[in-house]
Amino acid sequence: MRTSDRVIKAFLQLSTVISVLITVLIVLSVFSETMRFFSHVSPFNFFFGLEWSPQTAIRADQAGGSGSFGAVPIFVGTVMIAAIAMAVATPLGLLAAIYLSVYATPRFRNAAKPVLEILAGIPTVVYGYFAVVAFSPLLRAGGDYLGIEVASESALAAGVVMGIMITPFIMSLSEDVISAVPKSLIYGSFAMGATPYETVRNVIIPAAFPGIIGAVLLGISRGIGETMIVVMAAGLSSNLTLNPLEAVTTATVQIVTLLVGDHEFDSPKTLAAFALGFALFIMTFLLNLAAQIIVKRYRQYNV
Amino acid sequence: MFKKTERQARLILKRIHKNKNPFVFSYGVTPAQKWIVKRKRTEKQFKFFGFMSIALSAMFLGGLMLNIVSNGYTAFTRVQIYVPIEFSKEILDPENTGDRAALSKADYRKLVQNGLLTLFPANMSRTEKFELFALVSKGGYYQLREMVLADPSLVGRRGQLWLPAASNVDMFIKRHSLKSEIGISHYKVSNRQFEMLKELIDKERLRKVFNKTFFLGGDSQEPEQAGILGSFIGSIFTILVCIAVAFPLGVATALYLEEFAKENWLTDLIEININNLAAVPSIIYGLLGLSIYINIIGMPRSSALVGGLVLALLVMPVIVIATRNALRSVPHSVRYAALAMGANPVQVAMHHTFIYALPGIMTGVILSVARALGETSPLLLIGMVAFLTDVPKTITDPATTLPVQVYLWTNNPEFGFVENTAAAIIILLLVLVIINALAAWVRQKFEIKW
C-alpha cells in the first residue's frame, strides 16, 4: 500500500476509536460526577428518600444545609408520565400499524404514512409548545366542565402529548415486525376461514409478539428520556403522588432546572443533576439493550 | 331445478341476515348463524379502531398545524401609526451642545407624545392622554433615537413618521374586526383607545406592513421588537460546527467497520455500542458537553462551538448507521472487480464503494442535520438559553438556536409572544420541510438501484 493509503486507513481506524471513546467518556464523566455527588449524599438517601428539595442547599459549609435529595418522587413522576405516554402510544401505534399492514388499500397507505412521518419529524419543542398553549388549557377546561380540578401542569397533559409523539415510533417499529411475519402463516390462517381480525389475534400478534415488546421497550426508553415536552408542560417541584391530574416532575426536568443558569460545580445541587442523569442513562441503556436482544433473537427464529 | 333451489336458499339466508325467521314457527336462528354475525361485528369494530387510531393521529397533526398557523400568521405583518414628529431642540438638545452623548440620552418619548397629542383635540384628561401614549410601542422611541444619532442635522426639523404600534394594539388591529367593542378587553384595549384607533383609521394614519423586525432582529423584551435572526444565525453556526465534526468522523467510522474490520466480538461490541448510542436520551449528551467541553477543556459557555460539538456527538451514531446501510447496499461485484484490477483494499473502499454509496450517505447526513436542527434539550444544559439581543458573529459568541428561541418565547408570559412563538415554529418547520425535501431529491436523483 502507498503511504497515502496507509494514512487514510489510520484515519478510519482513529475515527472508530474516537466513536467508541465517546461512550466511555459519557459513562466516565457522568459516573465520576455521580460519585462526587454520593460523597456528599448517601446513595441510600438518594434512591429511597421521599423528599426532594435541592433548592434549600444554601451554603456548602453549613451543617445539614445540603438540602434533601430523595429521588423517589422524581422516579415515580418519570415513570408515571412515561406510563401515560405508553398507554396512549402503544394502542394507537399498534392499531395503526395493523390497520396499515392488514386492511389499508395501497392508496390509503400512501396517504396515511406521510402524516405519521411528519408527526415523527416534528421537533419535540413544538410538541411542548402545543402542550402548553393548547392541550393543557383544553384539559383544564374539560376538567372544569366536569367539576374535576386539573393542575395546569398536569402529568396527564404532558403524558398524552408525549404519547402522540411516540406513536409514529411505535407504529413504524411494529410495522416492520408485522411485515416480518412469514406470509405462509397468514395465508394459512385465511385459508382456514379466519377473518382478518382472527388472523391478527391468533397468528400475527403471537408471531410478532417479541418484536412488539421490543418496540414498546424502546418507546418507554424514549418516554423517560424525553426532555422538552416535560420541561415545558410538566411541573417543576417534586410531588409524590399517583394522581395523573396533579403536577409531577421528572428526572429530565430536574436535570434542566438544576443546571440552567449560573452554578458552581462543587455543590451537591449541581452534582445531583449528574446523579439523575446517570440513573437515566442506566435505565435507558438497559431498556435498549433488552429491546435489541429480544428483537435479534426473534429475527433468528423467524426467517 | 338446481338453480331454483339455490335462489330459494339465498332468499332464506337474506331473511336470516335481517334477523327475520324464514321458517315461521320453526327453530329460529341457529347458534352457528349467530356466531357468524358476531364474528363479522368484531371484525368491523376492529377495523374501525384501526382506522380511528390513524384518524386520531391525523387529527392531532391537523390541530397542531391549525393552532400554529392561526396563532402565527399575524406575526408576519406589523401595524404602524403615522405620527407627526417635531425633533424640537428644546427637548433633544436644550443646552445646544450638539454632543452625541446628550443626544443619546434625550427624552425621545416626549417627541412621540407631543406628536400624538397634535392628532387629537387638546382638551384630553390625564388618563386619556396615558391611553393615547400607550398606543405606540417603546420601539418607536428607539427608532427616533437611532435616526437622530445617525443624522444629527434632524434636530430642529419636523416631519411625519410611521412608528410601530404597541404589542396589544398590534394584535388587536390584526385580529379584531373593529366593527364592535365586544372582546376588546381580551387585547387589553380600553374603550377610549378603541375610539382613538377608529379615528386613526379614518384619518388613514394606521397601516399594516410586512414585519421586517421579525426577520432582521435579535431577541427583545418587547414582543413587537423581537426577531428570529439571532437564533437563526446561531442555528446555522451550530449546524456547521456539528456537520464539520460529525460527517468525517461518522463516515470514517462506518467505512472502517464495514470495509476493514474483521468480524469478531470486538466489532460486535462496537456495533451494539453504536446502536445504543443512537438511543441514549439527548439530554445525557448535554451533561457530557457540560462536564467535558466546558468544565475540563474550558470552551466558551453558551457558544455555538460547544453546541455544535455536543450535537455532533448526538448525530454521529445516526450518520454511522446510515452510512453502513448505504455501504451494505453496494454489491460485492464492485469490490471484486476493483480488486481484480489491482486496487488495494483502501483504494477499493475510497475510490469505488464509497463513491457508489455516496448518495445514500448524503441522504442520511441531510436527515441527521434535520434532527440536529430540531434538538433543544442538550443545548439548554450548555447555556445556550441566554437572553441575547445581538446576532452572533463568530462561533465562539454566545448564541441560541431556533428551537431554543421557541422554548424561551413559550415561557414568556407576555401575551404578544404567542404569535412570535408560533411564527418561529412556522419558520422552523419550513426549514425542516426544505431539508427533508432536499434529502428526498438527493435520494431520487442520485441513488443507484442495483
The reply to whether residue A122 touches residue B429, judged by beta carbons under 8 angstroms, is yes
- Partner-chain residue, chosen from B253, B290, B406, that has the shortest CB–CB distance to A16: B253
Query: Considering only CA atoms, which of B225, B293, B274 is closest in space to residue B78?
Result: B225
For residue B40, the chain A residue with the least C-alpha distance is: A195
Cell numbers found for residue B10: 339465498
Distance CA A262, CA A102 (A): 55
The structural domains of chain B, with segments of one domain joined by +, span: 2-71, 76-217, 229-446
- Write the CB contacts of A249 (distance below 8 Å, at least 6 apart in sequence): A73, A74, A77, A230, A234, A235, A236, A237, A238, A239
H or E element in which residue B104 lies: helix B100-105
Tell me what pLDDT residue B19 has: 57
Substitution target from A227, A229, A292 for chain B, most B beta carbons within 10 A: A227
* pLDDT tens digits for range A146-188: 888 888 888 999 999 999 999 999 999 999 889 888 889 999 9
The CATH number of the structural domain formed by A73-301 is 1.10.3720.10
Q: What is the DSSP pairing of strand B77-86 with strand A68-69?
A: unpaired
Average of pLDDT values for B200-209?
86
Q: Is A35 an interface residue toward B (CB < 8 Å)?
A: no
Q: Mean pLDDT across chain A, nearest whole number?
A: 87
Are the CB atoms for B385 and B400 separated by under 8 Å?
yes
Which residue matches cell numbers 406575526?
B75
Which residue matches cell numbers 433615537?
B145
Tell me what pLDDT residue B415 has: 79
User: What angle do helix axes B229-255 and B304-328 make, rounded to 10 degrees?
Assistant: 40
Query: pLDDT confidence of A303, banded at 50, 70, 90?
Result: very low
**A57 has a pLDDT exceeding 50:** no
* Least reliable range by pLDDT among A167-176, A235-244, B32-41, B303-312: A235-244
Which residue matches cell numbers 383544553?
A138
Query: pLDDT confidence of B273, banded at 50, 70, 90?
Result: confident
Cell numbers found for residue A194: 379466519
Distance CA A178, CA A215 (A): 12
3-state helix/strand/coil string of A73-121: HHHHHHHHHHHHHHHHHHHHHHHHHHHHHHHCCHHHHHHHHHHHHHHHH
Residues B302-340 as b/e (b if ≥16 CB within 10 A, e otherwise) read bbbbbbbbbbbbbbbbbbbbbbbebbeebeeebbeebee
Residue A102 CA neighbour count, 13 Å, CB half: 30
Cell numbers found for residue A77: 413522576
Cell numbers found for residue A243: 394522581
For residue B384, the chain A residue with the least C-alpha distance is: A260
The reply to whether residue B67 touches residue A231, judged by beta carbons under 8 angstroms, is no
Cell numbers found for residue A155: 402529568
Tell me what pLDDT residue B27 has: 55
Coil, strand or helix at A63: coil
The C-alpha of A197 sits at a distance from chain B's nearest C-alpha, in angstroms, of 6
Q: Is A271 an interface residue toward B (CB < 8 Å)?
A: no
Q: What is the dihedral of CA B336, B341, B343, B348, to 10 degrees?
A: -40
The reply to whether residue A1 touches residue B376, judged by beta carbons under 8 angstroms, is no
Query: Considering only CA atoms, which of B258, B276, B406 is closest in space to residue B345?
Result: B258
CB contacts of A277 in chain B (<8 Å) are 283-284, 287
Query: Considering only CA atoms, which of A264, A259, A260, A238 is closest in space to residue A249?
Result: A238
Cell numbers found for residue B119: 392628532
Name which residue leads in pLDDT, A292 or B19: A292
Distance CA B106, CA B88 (A): 11
Distance CA A145, CA A141 (A): 6
Residue type, A268: P
**B52 has a pLDDT exceeding 80:** yes
Average of pLDDT values for B96-125?
80
**Among positive and negative, which fits the CA dihedral A224, A225, A227, A229?**
negative
CB contacts of B421 in chain A (<8 Å) are 129, 133
**A301 has a pLDDT exceeding 70:** no
* pLDDT tens digits for range B309-360: 999 999 999 999 999 999 999 999 999 999 999 999 899 999 999 999 999 9
Query: pLDDT confidence of B127, banded at 50, 70, 90?
Result: confident
The CATH number of the structural domain formed by B229-446 is 1.10.3720.10
* pLDDT tens digits for range A62-121: 544 557 888 889 999 999 999 999 999 999 999 999 999 999 999 999 988 888 888 999
Query: pLDDT confidence of A262, banded at 50, 70, 90?
Result: low
Cell numbers found for residue A188: 394459512
The structural domains of chain A, with segments of one domain joined by +, span: 73-301
Q: What is the DSSP pairing of strand A52-53 with strand B206-210?
A: unpaired
Distance CA B83, CA B69 (A): 32
- Cβ neighbours around B129 below 10 Å, total: 14
